[in-house]
Amino acid sequence: MKIKNKLVRAISLGTTLMLSTSAMAATELRVATWMPPTNAQNADVWPTWGKWVEDATEGRVKVVVEQTSGDPGSLFNLVEDGVYDASFSYHGYLPGRFKLPQIVEQPGLGVGAESASVALWRVYNKYFSDSYEFDGLELIGMFTHGPGVLHSREPINSLSDLKGKKIRIGGGVQTEIGNRLEVTPVAAPAPKVYEMLQQGIIDGTFLPISEQKNLRLNEVAPNVTIFPGGLYLGSFSIFMNPDFLESLSAEDREAILGVSGEKLSAMAGKAWERIDAVGYKAAEEKDVHVNNIDGNSPVANSFYKAINGMKEDWVTSVSDRTDMAETAMDELWEIARDYENAKQ
């Protein structure tokens, strides 16, 4: 009888421990990604943020990254609908919805992705937080890639060499730049660019120099033109489903938001900035001709003339969304350049 009672108690204790362990199982935070594994977002940003989240919540929330092959522009809606708990995407894929983030995309800012990302996060939250652009989503980070450059099949020695050329653009402010440089715009997602260049469907593409490595453009675009101050910056946001966030305890909600925001934005920008150096090296390894245009050259002066007034035009274009656009623009440029100078 004593042996039987001990066995019952042991089984009961084991069952209790199993139930307790089950109750303590980590909540999965499912993140959708659309970039290849080698991209900075998957190789650096998600793993780093995932560790921050797990540490901050003491293991109660675990970030699980899931690859998706769908349209990256659809991720805003997929997260809003709860198909995924979090993701990131490029604002230019939904240009009618996201106009205010273009504040950081204007040409000539002349800073790296980390500085631009911090400036964007601060300014957007200070001046545009009441915008409806992120309705249905919890905005937890914003960042940019490095300055855009022109990757082309043929060398570009003057802006007249660009007229009529079929150039892939990614939306956002790139569309306006393409118009001002008088190119023939071709809309296509970045993963399609290699094939399009290889087959001669396009003559070139606007992308950061990192894509010489990531997309292997050093194999199909033997020329890179770097404009003074940068051709443009591409802006992204990182967002969560608010219902998922609300389902967590107040402690875990605060913990996750505490390792997001500016901290996440700066880290993401820095990660994307690092791959520019890798892309530049990849270009050198394939003997790609890199034309780093001197800021005082005739080509640069033609470029400055072409982009003149873009900032003012953007301010006018968002007048139906905010009356603080000009003030925000001035502050963003000041923050970004101060931050960049502090890094030196």
**Cβ neighbours for 302, distance < 8 A, ≥ 6 positions apart:** 158, 159
Residue 8 pLDDT > 60: no
User: What pLDDT is attached to residue 34?
Assistant: 92
Residue of 320, 340, 316, 339 lying closest to 329 (CA atoms):
316
Residue 10 pLDDT > 50: no
Residue 12 pLDDT > 80: no
For 18-22, 53-57, 76-80, which range has the lowest pLDDT when averaged over its residues? 18-22
Tell me: the pLDDT tens digits for 242-277? Answer: 999 999 999 999 999 999 999 999 999 999 999 999
Query: Please, what is the average pLDDT of the chain?
Result: 93
The pLDDT > 70 percentage for the chain reads: 93
User: What pLDDT is attached to residue 78?
Assistant: 97
User: What pLDDT is attached to residue 24?
Assistant: 64
Residue 142 pLDDT > 60: yes
For every residue of 105-173, DSSP letters joined together read T-TT----HHHHHHHHHHHHHHHSTT-GGGTTSEEEEEEE-SPEEEEESS---SGGGGTT-EEEE-STH
Identify the residue with better confidence: 12 or 298: 298
For every residue of 187-199, DSSP letters joined together read E--GGGHHHHHHT
User: What pLDDT is attached to residue 336?
Assistant: 98
The residues pairing with 223 across neighbouring beta strands, listed in sequence order, are 152, 289
**pLDDT class of 49 with cuts at 50, 70, 90:** very high
Taking the C-alpha atoms of residue 344 and residue 342, their distance in angstroms, rounded to an integer, is 6
- Residue type at 163? K
CA angle 163-149-37, nearest 5°? Answer: 130
The residues pairing with 141 across neighbouring beta strands, listed in sequence order, are 238
**Cβ neighbours for 258, distance < 8 A, ≥ 6 positions apart:** 56
User: What pLDDT is attached to residue 190?
Assistant: 85
- The model carries a pTM of 0.90
- Residue type at 235? S
The residues pairing with 67 across neighbouring beta strands, listed in sequence order, are 33
Taking the C-alpha atoms of residue 339 and residue 70, their distance in angstroms, rounded to an integer, is 36
Burial label, 109 (beta-carbon count in 10 A; 0-12, 13-18, 19+): buried
For 20-24, 227-231, 279-283, 309-313, which range has the lowest pLDDT when averaged over its residues? 20-24
Residue of 146, 205, 145, 144 lying closest to 178 (CA atoms):
205
Taking the C-alpha atoms of residue 171 and residue 207, their distance in angstroms, rounded to an integer, is 11
Tell me: the pLDDT tens digits for 305-338? Answer: 999 999 999 999 999 999 999 999 999 999 999 9
